[in-house]
Amino acid sequence: MSKNYKIAVLPGDGTGPEVIAEAVKVLDAAGRKFGFTTEKEYYNWGGEHYLKTGETLPADAKAQLEKHDAVLLGAIGHPDVKPGILEKGILLKLRFDLDQYINLRPVKLYAGVETPLANKKPEDIDYVVVRENSGGVYTGMGGNVQIDTPDEVACQNWVYTRSQVDRCLKFAFELAAKRHTKENPWRGLSEEDRKAGYTSQLTLVGKTNVLTYVCGLWDRAFHAMAKDFPTVKTNYCHVDAATMWMVKNPEWFDVIVTENLMGDIITDLAAMTSGGMGVASGGNLNPKGVSMFEPIGGSAPKYTGKNVINPLAAIGAAAMMLDFLGEKEAAQAIEKSIEFVTGNKLKSMAAGRMGYSTTEVGDLVVENL
């Protein structure tokens, strides 16, 4: 019996509608091949909507999106709108309102994709970052006093509850535990680790030597929870060290878990090491609610309407969405097709230099499903 999924589609700004059109094209083709359908409803929220109405999101946006099984987002950002308005008023608000407390960022170097890291191959860059997505400094607590005077004070509060930390860690441990098996353990484990029963590794990234209160909470919760996951080897990195190792030895990572701000920074670094924003996808997850999937790159307004932007990140986001919905075979087929296209077809991942148009790249993924 064919399954039908209700998908909310937010094409957004700039090149967002162009890459989303290709993601939808691949989504429909995968549905025909693997026996499911997607019922899509489009929402025009973004820069143009804000400029016309003064509204970032309607008051009932949360209720509208909760009618769907998942959300597919293109890009948010408009050159005529002051930075911060759309990002806070749409992206952050949706994440918080829908309690999408996990930001999931696969870091995978596909065949044929150039990395700025010398001598690194696809087998060296294949890990996942789990970023806590609902707490930390992004909650907006704080303020300014004596504004625009020499004595101005600015305060941005970095706040976490134990329950926020625990639910993020639980997701990360469970992901690490199922990412590898005894038959197929993480390649970075030593023979001694394997004999000890480990199949995977989870690295906590923090700054426990200086930010002792919040990072101390994360560290204590991390080690308390580790006892429930005997196959997951635990590891720790200060965030500054993590940025070094992500460049020098990315093969040292399997799954990384970290708080909101640090995660925001290191995932963009990770995306560049795996080929840039043209191929990087992400998900904002509520494991028991509505999740939102998106390409990591921005709206790229200078390329709007030229049919030259790389749609693979948006197509990858659609694959992540299908995996989350349980259509794992279809998700894997899309990922394999992306890897075939990067390894055998595209000259570059950069806009205008792929050797194919945006729509042609979408066609190539469909042809090789």
| Two structure tokens written together for 89 | 């008023």
The predicted pLDDT at position 298 comes to 85
Please tell me whether residue 115 adopts helix, strand or coil conformation: coil
* CA R_g for the chain: 21
Residue 297 binned pLDDT confidence (cut-offs 50, 70, 90) = confident
Determine the Cα–Cα distance for residues 305 and 23; give it in Å rounded to an integer. 16
For residue 264, the one-letter residue type is D
Assign residue 145 a region: left if phi > 0, alpha if psi is -120 to 50, beta otherwise?
Answer: beta
Determine the Cα–Cα distance for residues 208 and 205; give it in Å rounded to an integer. 9
Determine the Cα–Cα distance for residues 113 and 346; give it in Å rounded to an integer. 9
Whether 57 and 95 have beta carbons less than 8 Å apart is answered as no
Tens digit of pLDDT for each residue in 116-133? 999 999 999 999 999 999
Residue 95: its H or E element: helix 93-97
Reported in sequence order, the residue ranges of 33-113 that DSSP labels E, i.e. its strands, are 36-42, 70-75, 102-108
Determine the Cα–Cα distance for residues 209 and 212; give it in Å rounded to an integer. 6
Whether 43 and 74 have beta carbons less than 8 Å apart is answered as no
The pTM assigned to this predicted structure is: 0.94
- With 0-12 CB in 10 A as exposed, 13-18 as middle and 19+ as buried, what is 140? exposed
Task: Answer yes or no: is pLDDT of 259 > 90.
Answer: yes
Please tell me whether residue 138 adopts helix, strand or coil conformation: helix
Tens digit of pLDDT for each residue in 42-101? 999 999 999 999 999 999 999 999 999 999 999 999 999 999 899 999 999 999 999 999
* Closest of 348, 333, 16 to residue 361, by C-alpha: 348
Neighbour order of strands in the sheet with 232-238: 36-42, 3-12, 70-75, 291-295, 281-285, 102-108, 126-132, 255-258, 200-206, 232-238
Whether 38 and 5 have beta carbons less than 8 Å apart is answered as yes
For residues 190-200, give the mean pLDDT: 96
Question: Between vectors from CA 262 to CA 251 and to CA 129, what angle results, nearest 5°?
Answer: 40
Determine the Cα–Cα distance for residues 201 and 210; give it in Å rounded to an integer. 25
Tens digit of pLDDT for each residue in 337-350? 999 999 999 999 98
The predicted pLDDT at position 140 comes to 85
Residue 272: its H or E element: helix 260-273
Tens digit of pLDDT for each residue in 9-31? 999 999 999 999 999 999 999 99
Task: Answer yes or no: is pLDDT of 364 > 90.
Answer: yes
Tens digit of pLDDT for each residue in 143-171? 999 999 999 999 999 999 999 999 999 99
The predicted pLDDT at position 145 comes to 97
| Two structure tokens written together for 354 | 């792929």
Task: Answer yes or no: is pLDDT of 208 > 90.
Answer: yes
Tens digit of pLDDT for each residue in 299-341? 999 999 999 999 999 999 999 999 999 999 999 999 999 999 9
Stronger pLDDT, 139 or 43, i.e. the higher one: 43
Lowest mean pLDDT among 98-107, 238-247, 298-307: 298-307
Reported in sequence order, the residue ranges of 64-181 that DSSP labels E, i.e. its strands, are 70-75, 102-108, 126-132, 142-145, 153-156
